[in-house]
Amino acid sequence: MENKIKNFRINVLDGFRAIAILIVLLFHYFSRWTLLYPYSDKYDFFRYGKMGVQFFFIISGFVILYSLENTTNFIAFWKKRMIRLFPSILVASIITYFVFVLFDTELLFPASHFFKNILASIIFIPPDTLASIFNNKVQLDYISGSYWSLWPEIQFYLFVSTIYFFNKNKFLITFFILSAMLIIINFILPGMEGILANRIKSFFIVFNFIESLPYFCFGVLFYIAYKNKMMEKAIPAYLQISFLGLLLFQIYGSYSEPLKLGLIFLFLFLFIALIYYPKLINFLENRILVKIGVSSYFLYLIHENIGVLTINKYSGFFTNYEFLFSLILIFIFVIVSIAYTSTIDNWINRLLKKIFLKKMNELEMQKLEMYKLLNAQQHFL
């Protein structure tokens, strides 16, 4: 029964990823770049599709804790993360560069024309931060605008993995205390003045995952609820209080934007349904949605600049029906991403795992299983 539930959850999470990436595509193709679309703001109905990124952050919080619990050490965790993230961003960056060098004759996205921006994009650190290392003598930018969200992800991975492997038994309480402190500091910081406050502000400009930390925290909380449901355990009071605090924080921060708040509630509802009412959302196990979700990372990396360039150059041929061109383009990008992920990306991942994870031998796996057995009860106290 436990394995069945576990497999179901994984499929539904891919359904969540499909929702997240599709609303991001709608945002980028109909609302984000209205000055570049031939149809301007005629179909500008998807401004809050950008919230798909926040949905991805919640999913990441859920999945990363699962990954940590099934990894033996800090180095192995980061090897797995880089094997997952690096090949696709390298491939997507190279493709984007050549597409723009060959076809962007009007320089819609100048940053996509520079090879140096491939290098700036594939190391996951913000280009502005990299440029500052060289005293801003070199101007750098992302090869594609959507790459910005990878930096908060990387920061969260570092934050959560450091806490987890420092003291696994005290992970949850440590994680939520530190997260609460950072969120509160970030909330009150704009109203503070002085040298120390300005230094903290400068620090938070670079290390900006704190803006997204509440969403990652939701994901971690949902994972704990999921595990406790499987183990038939109650959720500790401090975690319930943490969830309530995060919820009130979102309401306070978004009450003036009802559509944004509505999407946040929808995302939270989907996770609650995943844990407690799975039959309500079993349609998200749909085979097509699952495939889109599995390929969502490459689709996210490849779609924005190339897609907007294509819309700018060719959607005008669909007079009065330009939106159809953009929908067809979404379909094409989905097909290409599924094909890439199921073939090239899978092959690269298998190869890299053989090369870099070969030290995770049977002894290490036995240690991991022993640890999980001995600490299953303590993890969720």
pLDDT digits (tens, 9 = 90+) for 146-175: 999 999 999 999 999 999 999 999 999 999
Say if residue 297 is exposed, middle or buried (CB neighbours under 10 Å; 0-12, 13-18, 19+). buried
Measure CA 50 to chain center.
12
Give me the amino acid identity at 93. S
Look up tokens 């797995």; give the residue. 80
pLDDT of residue 372: 53
Is residue 44 classed as helix, strand or coil in its secondary structure?
A: coil
The pLDDT assigned to 379 comes to 40
Asked if 80 contacts 74 with a C-beta cutoff of 8 angstroms, the reply is no
Higher pLDDT, 329 or 2: 329
The domain in which residue 205 lies consists of: 2-380
Find, among 216, 218, 226, the residue nearest to 276 by Cα: 226
Instruction: Return phi, psi of residue 25, to 5°.
Output: -60, -45
Q: What is the pLDDT of residues 41-73, one digit of tens each?
A: 999 999 999 999 999 999 999 999 999 998 999
pLDDT of residue 59: 98
Whether residue 170 contacts residue 140, with contact meaning beta carbons closer than 8 Å, is answered with: no
Ranges 179-188, 317-326, 370-379: which has the least confidence: 370-379
136 phi and psi, to 5 degrees?
Answer: 60, 25
What confidence tens digit (pLDDT) does each residue in 240-254 have?
999 999 999 999 999
Q: Which two tokens stand for residue 39?
A: 């149809």
Number of domain units in the chain: 1
Average pLDDT of the chain to the nearest whole number: 92
User: Regarding predicted confidence, which is higher, 376 or 195?
Assistant: 195
Give CA torsion, residues 250, 252, 255, 258, to 10 deg.
10
What is the per-residue pLDDT for 176? 98
| Helix or strand holding residue 333 (H, E) | helix 322-340
Q: What's the pLDDT at 369?
A: 60
Q: What is the DSSP string of 271-311?
A: HHHHHH-GGGGGGGG-HHHHHHHHTHHHHHHHHHHHHHHHH
What pLDDT sits at residue 4? 45
Compute the chain's Rg from CA coordinates.
22
- 25-34: average pLDDT: 98
Grade residue 126 by pLDDT with cuts at 50, 70 and 90: very high
